[in-house]
Chain A
Amino acid sequence: MKLTFTITFTLLVLFTHAQTAITGKVTDNKGIPITGANIYLDGTYDGSSSNEHGDFSFSTTQNGQQTLIISFLSFETYTLSKDVTEMSNLKVSLKEDVNSLGSVILNAGTFSAGDNSKASVLNPLDIVTTAGAAGDYIGAFQTLPGTSNVAEDGRLFVRGGDANETNIYIDGLRVFQPFAATTNNIPTRGRFSPFLFKGTNFSTGGYSAEYGDALSSVLLLNTIDEPEQEKTDLSFISVGLGIGNTQKWKKNSLSVNAFYLNLKPYQEIISQRVDWIKPFESFSGETVYRHKFNNGLLKIYGGLSYTDFELNQEDINVPEGVNFALRNRNLYLNSSYQGSLGNDWKITSGVSFANDDNDIKVISTDVDNQENSFHFKLKLKKRFSNRFKLNFGAEQFINTFSEEARTSTPENFKSSFDNNSTAAFTEANIFFSKKLAMQIGVRGVHNTLLDYTKVSPRASLAYKTSSKSQISLAYGDFYQAPSQEVLRYETDLDPEKSSHYILNYLYQNNGRTFRAEGYYKSYQSLIKFDTEIPEFNSLYSNQGDGYAAGLDIFWRDNKSIKNLEYWASYSYLNTERDYQNYPNRATPNFAGEHNLSLVTKYWVNDWKSLISTTYNFASGRPYNDPNTGIFQNQKTRTYNALNFSWAYLISQQKILYLSVSNVLGFDNVFNYQYSNTPDSNGTFARRPIRPNADRFFIVGFFWTISDNKTDNQLDNL
């Protein structure tokens, strides 16, 4: 009897647990039922999926206090801790996950390129395959709206600002000399290999409080976290040779690149308008080491480059020409750490250092200068919830410059300065819903050389008007210290200031993107001086000012025509400024009114070829003719260029590449140089400033050797 009782009791415990029914309904915040949500008691097998009416029901043998979990793609997971008997007829409305795809993006002023951001307008490959860019990552950005065509310079001129108003950052740290050393009218190139970067953000205005000391724009480049594979890259180009190697082991990876460029053989074949004495020669080496920790990632980048050239520059005031020689050595180190501190805290910290050394000879003057720059940054990010995140941080810049000029006179001329500044910033990201988001921040900076402290607010707001479109607004104040050319002679100055007001509309639908952005930018306290170029005895002031207003249009379509991707950019720019030695407000030479780019990339499957073309158009650029009474009131002829490139994939790992710029040979004029003194008829003679050559050809062969491939071949033998 006793035994029977025990058995019965045990069986009761084992098999006849009390069954409790859990039922309810899942909807979104508008009451629309959610089908397929996963509903279960945490830590048990008991659960179910919601049906097409959002209803769910299941039974459980659990009792007492339990945790019910409801999860569904693109919604925040819901949890409920209660006694199971109270879990019936539940009404649960899930909150949208504001981090999911399809949420509003804060994008006013910004173009991003990368493969994982919805705001991306370019993918990493676009940067190398854009015709006319010739592998220079800056070249691809010059086809985006908001930039002005200044082909003789090669840098980025954004929305009526000159090239010094754009700063470049790698992994959040400042790059002090991002461009190869050059001289007037010889276009420069970015120093870095485009393959180092996984994503870029190009802001043409209204950017985050994290960045400062740039009046117009920032270009943010992020290096690759982990290379895809071990490989060796060889490049044989008509103007140089390159080699690269990547190794991966355990939690480390190391990439090394070297490139040697020599334009001598090329310039012997193709005639140039420039009288080269020693054609452009450069050697550059880069290395990146990455180490993954359990909670973070360390990246160390080092780049060293050496450039040497000499030429005789045509000058209307110097009949025999101006002899100019330059030797530049540049070292750049950038080390950053990103990691998680737990409890939704993240840290980003890093140091960058640059040493730039120039040895310049202009006619009989020898100029040696050296610049050391240092940037330290610490940023913390706290995620309070998906809807509220806070960033704050501080940074320190140290910059020392010294120069010594020697002429035939016994007296040497020396100049130097130490320009240090400290900045702190904070910024909050607030998502009110999947449709409405705001970013608001403030940045304060103190500069010890000029002894100023400035505070600048930044704000942006975005609202999703439909599932495919959104509008956004941005506002910000920006300060920038005067350029090195001025600081070496005068430090009793204030920073230059600009304010941006931006309105953006974005439409994205299945491979098609339309973006229109209108802006107004005001300039205050621009530096003025009373000589042709800044000199030690010039009179300097902060009395310049100006404005820029315009409309940028971008259209990209990857879908309508099979195998064809194209984008079109148009920028309208209306700008005037009174700065440097201008007698009054006028439009600078670099700021053309209309700029248009059309970029196409067509994949021909039968030929295994990617054929790219880029057409650039720019309306005439203003120049000053001293024969007329009005400053800067003449315009050059319009600028046209059609660039072409052809990449032929011989096999998966071998590529043959041909590129020709300005195929049709348009005769472009950038500006005019006028004689300082009138001739006997009382007129000032002039000479046009034109490209060094109408066309530029590149033929290259790129060969990637990866261990994978070797392995494959061995397998097949």
Chain B
Amino acid sequence: MKTIVLLIALLTVSTINAQTAFEKGMTQAFDLWGDKKPDKAINLFERIAKAEKENWLPYYYAAQVHIITTFMIKDAEEIESRLIKAQNFLNEAKTFSKENAEILIMEALLNTAYVAYNPSVYGMTHSAKVEELYQKAKVLEPENPRAILYHAEWKMGSAKFWGKDPKAFCPEIEKAILYFEKETLTEPFYPRWGMDQVERIQKNCN
């Protein structure tokens, strides 16, 4: 009897072990990204995604690292191939999690990256897409702080371009801060980023 109990206990340890492999891997991938090794981070996220089979999170973060990286590089071919790759990751993520506001927000950022890199080619088509994606995300999760914050930044950008006052969207940022503070972690590694960007975006309000 004792033996059986012990065996069960030890096997439980073993399953916890398997769970922590995911957590360990994810933590390690974030560390690699933090250490400015984006490609190693992407590779690790991709490996976790392949091993986990039905988890959208590693695909989501692999896409995010690609997208954020394009904001810092200039080579057109590299930007295009990273954005294509990021879109593929998001498409994978969507197959495991439909109607997910976080994925839509990431897709809006991806389309923003296209506009930022080549406005004359992508400006007209992708701007409409960005707007639509934020709208959809807000319908799914009206209190998602990332949707509110990044949508406000997008609208501030276009207000500035049209010679209008970007301050009109400052109340949105206040709203985002409120929701960031209310945000709780429901599952490990669920997207919670963005609070640190508030200050940068709020500069438009001074």
Contacts and interface: CB of A to CB of B under 8 A. Distances in A.
Interface of A: 2-3, 6-7, 10-11, 14, 36-38, 40, 42-45, 47-49, 69, 71, 73-74, 100-102, 115, 123-125, 228-229, 510-511, 558, 565, 603, 608, 649, 651-652, 706, 708, 711-712, 715-716
Interface string B129-172: 10110010000000000000000000100100011000010001
Given A228-B129, A608-B162, 15 more contacts: A3-B3, A14-B13, A36-B39, A36-B40, A38-B42, A40-B47, A43-B50, A73-B81, A115-B125, A125-B120, A511-B76, A565-B120, A652-B158, A708-B131, A712-B155
Interface of B: 2-3, 6-7, 10, 13-14, 17, 21-22, 25, 39-40, 42-44, 46-48, 50-51, 53, 76-77, 80-81, 85, 120-122, 124-125, 128-129, 131-132, 135, 155, 158, 162-163, 168, 172
B166 to A, nearest CB: 12
Contact of A36 (B2, B43, B81, B85): B43
B10 A10 contact: yes
A115 B121 contact: yes
Dominant secondary structure of chain A at its interface with chain B: mixed
Contact of A708 (B7, B10, B132): B132
Contact of A45 (B10, B25, B77): B25
Contact of A228 (B42, B132, B158): B132
Contacts of A123: 120-121
A49 B43 contact: yes
Given A228-B129, A228-B132, A14 B10 contact: yes
Contacts of A6: 3, 6-7
Given A6-B3, A44-B51, A101 B132 contact: no
A716 B168 contact: yes
Contact of B17 (A14, A43, A510, A649): A14
A229 B85 contact: no
Contact of B76 (A44, A45, A69, A510): A510
Contacts of A102: 77
Contacts of A229: 128-129, 131-132
A124 B128 CA distance: 15
Nearest to B82: A73
A10 B128 contact: no
B77 A14 contact: no
B51 A45 contact: yes
Contacts of A652: 158, 162
A229 B129 CA distance: 7
Given A7-B6, A100-B81, A229-B131, A45 B43 contact: no
14 contacts: A10-B6, A14-B10, A36-B39, A38-B47, A43-B50, A43-B51, A47-B43, A47-B44, A115-B125, A123-B121, A228-B129, A229-B129, A229-B131, A706-B131
A74 B81 contact: yes
B187 to A, nearest CB: 19
Given A47-B43, A101-B77, A11 B121 contact: no
Contacts of B40: 36, 49
